[in-house]
């Protein structure tokens, strides 16, 4: 597949002719709302069954290589071209295909109950694991139930492994004291793990994901000990254990979110680790890229020194945010799908820009009330940038937060870049 960025004056008919791909295929792959209206700066994924290109007048080997995101050298080699400056209109060139590495893909989902089934069914072919989010631990070692039956059943039908997620926080409570009570009491730890195993047996979960956040720095060792005990209890039962960790860039990084997350211990103890590489542009903060590539690289550079690469999942958020501007501290941004972000740009006629450092699209608009807005979201270019990181760092896979926000471009590109492992 190829990525095309819409220029001023372009129509879908022109783009379809350029690539020799039916308009209907472009519409379907990108989930376009209106085939007659495009936004300047909008990225389109262009599906291509045939790996050939017929040279048009004025084209060069370099311009063709740019279209298909391949190098001039590889394109020349695939067509036995000794002089790249000598190509002729009408010549049919073979486009070299890149090898696709095999990865694991996890998807968290917090839209549960019956609404989970269609969400999981739509993207299940792209998942190795599905993680309904989440069982909340309690101070007595019990767990607050969630309505996960539909999600689990649909995951199984799609060949995705159900992974139980447990956490200590909610939308209104950080959970640091709750975690402290449980982690520092050996009897509560044993009771919690006994309850986890019971639920896993009853519901058919095959692994556990531990997402304890805001753990007190003083409880770092207690948290590590809990992870070891979880592995000691679950591995003999045939279950795997994973964790989700804050995006750290050094061992000295301060803050409640970071200090108790010991990358070395997690990488040594559990089966795999999900890096939560998102939320730089958080709901109540100032407008900025939600998961900027330049910041993610810093996290990966640190993570790979302590966690085996074949245990690391790159976290990828698949939603957009709309901030009011000028920003007022504490004012909450609106969260919605990347599809809605494009629709909103279309509605207000806002050209989409692209931050080359963060590798993220954004735009600004003024609503009917005269209020300014700034929107940051994900598109085909930013998704490809993250997929390239997974390849460059040799990571085990990708973990999506969270399913339920339509983003058809992502799934098309994911399949084009990788073979998704199904156990």
Residues with catalytic roles: 213
Hey, CA dihedral for 21, 23, 28, 33, is it positive or negative?
positive
d(CA 374, CA 217): 35
Count the Cβ atoms, other than its own, within 10 Å of residue 83.
8
Residue with tokens 């190098």: 71
């Amino acid at each position: 597949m190829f990525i095309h960025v819409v220029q001023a004056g372009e129509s879908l008919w022109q783009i379809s002719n350029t690539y020799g791909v039916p308009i209907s295929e472009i519409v379907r792959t990108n989930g376009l709302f209106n085939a007659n209206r495009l936004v300047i700066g909008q990225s389109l994924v262009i599906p291509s069954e045939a790996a050939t290109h017929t040279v048009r007048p004025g084209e060069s080997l370099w311009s063709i290589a740019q279209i298909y995101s391949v190098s001039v050298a590889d394109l020349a080699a695939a067509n036995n071209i000794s002089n790249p400056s000598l190509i002729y209109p009408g010549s049919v060139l073979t486009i070299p295909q890149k090898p696709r590495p095999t990865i694991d893909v996890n998807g968290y989902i917090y839209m549960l109950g019956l609404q989970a089934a269609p969400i999981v069914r739509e993207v299940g072919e792209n998942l190795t694991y599905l993680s309904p989010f989440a069982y909340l631990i309690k101070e007595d070692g019990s767990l607050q139930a969630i309505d996960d039956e539909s999600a689990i059943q649909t995951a199984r039908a799609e060949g995705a492994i159900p992974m139980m997620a447990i956490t200590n926080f909610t939308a209104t409570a950080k959970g640091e004291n709750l975690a402290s009570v449980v982690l520092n009491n050996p009897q509560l730890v044993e009771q919690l793990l006994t309850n986890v195993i019971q639920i896993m047996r009853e519901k058919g979960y095959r692994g556990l994901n531990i997402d304890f956040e805001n753990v007190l720095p003083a409880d770092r060792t207690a948290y590590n000990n809990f992870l070891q005990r979880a592995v000691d209890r679950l591995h003999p039962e045939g279950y795997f254990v994973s964790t989700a960790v804050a995006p750290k860039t050094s061992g000295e990084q301060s803050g409640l979110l970071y200090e108790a997350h010991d990358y070395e211990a997690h990488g040594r103890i559990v089966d795999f680790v999900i890096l939560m590489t998102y939320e730089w542009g958080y709901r109540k903060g100032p407008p900025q890229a939600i998961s900027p590539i330049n910041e993610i690289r810093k996290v990966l550079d640190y993570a790979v020194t302590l966690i085996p690469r074949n245990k690391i999942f790159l976290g990828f958020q698949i939603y957009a945010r709309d901030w009011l501007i000028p920003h007022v501290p504490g004012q909450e941004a609106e969260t919605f799908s990347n599809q809605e972000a494009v629709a909103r740009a279309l509605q207000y006629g806002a050209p989409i820009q692209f931050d080359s450092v963060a590798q993220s699209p954004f735009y600004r608009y003024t609503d009917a009330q005269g209020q300014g807005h700034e929107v940051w979201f994900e598109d085909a270019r930013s998704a490809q940038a993250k997929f390239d990181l997974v390849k460059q760092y040799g990571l085990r896979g990708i973990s999506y937060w969270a399913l339920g926000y339509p983003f058809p471009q992502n799934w098309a590109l994911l399949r084009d870049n990788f073979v998704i492992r199904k156990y």
